[in-house]
Chain A
Amino acid sequence: MTVGHSTEPKLRVKGATKVYHTRSGDLLAIDRCSLDILDGEIVSIVGPSGCGKTTLLWSMSGLHGLTAGEVLLDGKQITGPNPGIGMVFQEANLLPWRNVDSNINFPFEIKGTKPDRVWIDELLNRVGLEGFGGRFPRELSGGMQQRAALVRALSYKPSVLLMDEPFGALDAFTREEMNRLVEEIWLDTRTTIVLITHSIDEAIFLADRVVVMSPRPGRVANIHKVSFSRPRSLEIMSTKAVFDLTNAIKMEIVGTQQSRYPSRATSVQPVAE
């Protein structure tokens, strides 16, 4: 075992399996998912809704445990919330009774540490929220709220950033702007990013690798490499390579779904006579 530092994965998911015990019976959300994420890599996870993407991400964050398998951060097993991991949730998830500054201070209040004001001001500047520290979430647009949430997640310099459909609620233009912003910040910080998304475009634009998951129970169905140089421009999205990749991923997601619901396939057949 002479694995060099550069090839040691930042985050290693080994046989992750999660069963939810619900009133209507046990539910196998993810089944033996294995995935290595390298240091400084951006990995997107796509898949049909309800395939367990969020479950997988929450397992990585330590927010909930696994029924079987394990997640390792820098070789150490994750057993609970970890200060090295930042989380961006669906919607901004800002606390509505706190203004932007106070929301950004929230993680430090919980951890009992001092915020790095210089770094936070730099982040606020970067996302274009300088001077908005006193504003309350309801006074901000959806995009601004999500940018504030991004600053909050990066404020304590996590080495891994987990993003759970972060821009799903935003309009297409704001979303593209946010994607460029994420890449820009990544170029500065080289933070390892795992991004869950419903948008294949977003997945390809941001990621070094796109992981496609199968329908529930979620398994890693395929992994696509995306090797455009950075910073990427929106033009790459209209190249043949991206077009083919988008279609391939779409077919993988739709294809697996159709095999799961055969009745849907028959219902589109033309009616005789």
Chain B
Amino acid sequence: MREIDAIPEFKAKRGADGDVGITNMSALTSGPGIKSMSEVLAIILVAVVIIGGTELLLNIFEVPQYVLPKPSEMAKALFTEFPLIAPHLGHTLVELFAGFAIGASVGLILAAVITQFPFVEKIVTPYILLLVTTPMLALVPLLILRFGFGYEPRIIAVALAAGPMVMINAATGFRRVDAGKIALARSYGASTFQIFWKVRAPMALPMIFVGLMVGSIFGLLTAVGAEMVGGGFGLGNRLTSYSSMIQMPQFFAVVLILSILGILIYVLFFLLGKKFASWEA
């Protein structure tokens, strides 16, 4: 009797409306989960204690600036040096946007196409995994050799880092077949194309957002790393340059900018996911 349940189109998945992929989505939708004013206050309090405590301890033990600058010095550097850092931030953003746009588009299209052909998917998946697990930073010296010290090697590296991440998550989304919902669409005479756009794609959306988020963070890491290798511009270049000149407050100002950038990316995709894929929460 049980075998009959194993036939995919035979029975709609129990509880398919709510629980498909919630676990995959939790990274996005459960998010920071701040609920009350007191929690916000507690978070601020922790920040004050950590920053204030660091400032105090560094003062008490007279830690030299080149070992660890005081938070106040970092903040001061962030403001005074920002006009000098800003163009580099611009370069990094250009690399990130261009690389991510290319990588994510190719990743999304490949995921959509490949999941339509289970055989192709089986053949391609190991290579995609290889791309996901290989740190694309490793290729940067080679890319610089070929493309010089401009934007190109960095954009290519970002695309190579973000693309497979987007693809592997999007493919997981597209693969989430709910036999009942596809049967529903087919019962109205839906074509394969309609089933893709009206059932598979919306169902994959939460996973696509997870992929975009992880992909963009990976892209940022790769962009900064590539800038450290060479080329004389970008936030990564500032990090190597400031550290070589032992300008630690400036160095940490750049680190702070990178953290804020990462958080903004996370929040952006968190909000997009909430707006377009909240049905799954």
Contacts and interface: CB of A to CB of B under 8 A. Distances in A.
A114 to B, nearest CB: 15
A7 B43 CA distance: 77
A24 interface: yes
A91 B16 contact: yes
Contacts of A85: 187
Contacts of A106: 184-185, 188, 198
B276 to A, nearest CB: 8
A145 B15 CA distance: 13
A122 interface: no
A231 interface: no
Interface string B1-34: 1111111011110111110000000000000000
Contacts of A52: 4
A110 B17 CA distance: 20
The B contact surface, by secondary structure, is helix
A22 B181 CA distance: 22
Contacts of B14: 91
Given A22-B6, A89-B180, A94-B17, A111 B199 contact: no
The residue in A85, A89, A97 that gathers the most chain B C-beta atoms within 10 A of its C-beta is A97
A63 B180 CA distance: 11
A215 to B, nearest CB: 8
A243 to B, nearest CB: 29
A27 B4 CA distance: 8
Nearest to A156: B188
A55 B4 CA distance: 10
A42 B185 CA distance: 25
A90 interface: yes
Contacts of A137: 17, 279
Given A27-B3, A63-B186, A110-B188, A95 B199 contact: yes
A216 interface: yes
B59 interface: no
Given A52-B4, A96-B17, 15 more contacts: A83-B189, A89-B184, A90-B180, A91-B12, A91-B16, A91-B180, A93-B17, A95-B202, A97-B202, A97-B280, A106-B188, A106-B198, A110-B198, A111-B189, A138-B18
Contact of B194 (A24, A63, A97, A110): A110
Interface in B201-237: 202-203, 205
A228 interface: no
A64 interface: yes
A93 B199 CA distance: 12
A255 B180 CA distance: 32
Contact of A138 (B11, B17, B180, B189): B17
Contacts, number: 95
28 contacts: A20-B4, A22-B3, A22-B6, A22-B7, A27-B4, A29-B4, A49-B1, A50-B2, A50-B4, A55-B10, A63-B187, A81-B187, A83-B188, A87-B187, A89-B12, A89-B183, A89-B184, A91-B12, A91-B14, A93-B180, A93-B181, A95-B202, A96-B17, A97-B203, A97-B280, A106-B185, A111-B188, A137-B279
Contact of A110 (B2, B4, B9, B185): B185
Contact of B189 (A49, A80, A145): A80
A49 B3 CA distance: 12
A9 interface: no
Interface in B158-199: 180-181, 183-190, 194, 198-199
B16 A81 contact: no
A144 B205 CA distance: 26
A97 B108 CA distance: 20
A56 to B, nearest CB: 12
A74 B203 CA distance: 37
A90 B180 CA distance: 9
A198 B11 CA distance: 14
Nearest to B280: A96
A91 B187 contact: no
A93 B189 CA distance: 17
Nearest to B276: A97
B1 A216 contact: yes
A40 interface: no
Given A54-B10, A96-B17, A110 B180 contact: no
A90 B4 CA distance: 15
A94 B279 CA distance: 12
A58 B183 CA distance: 10
A71 to B, nearest CB: 14
Nearest to A149: B184
Contacts of A87: 184, 187
Contacts of B189: 80-81, 83, 110-111
Interface string A66-102: 0000000000000011010101011111111100000
Interface in B234-281: 277, 279-280
Given A91-B16, A138-B17, A216-B4, A54 B11 contact: yes
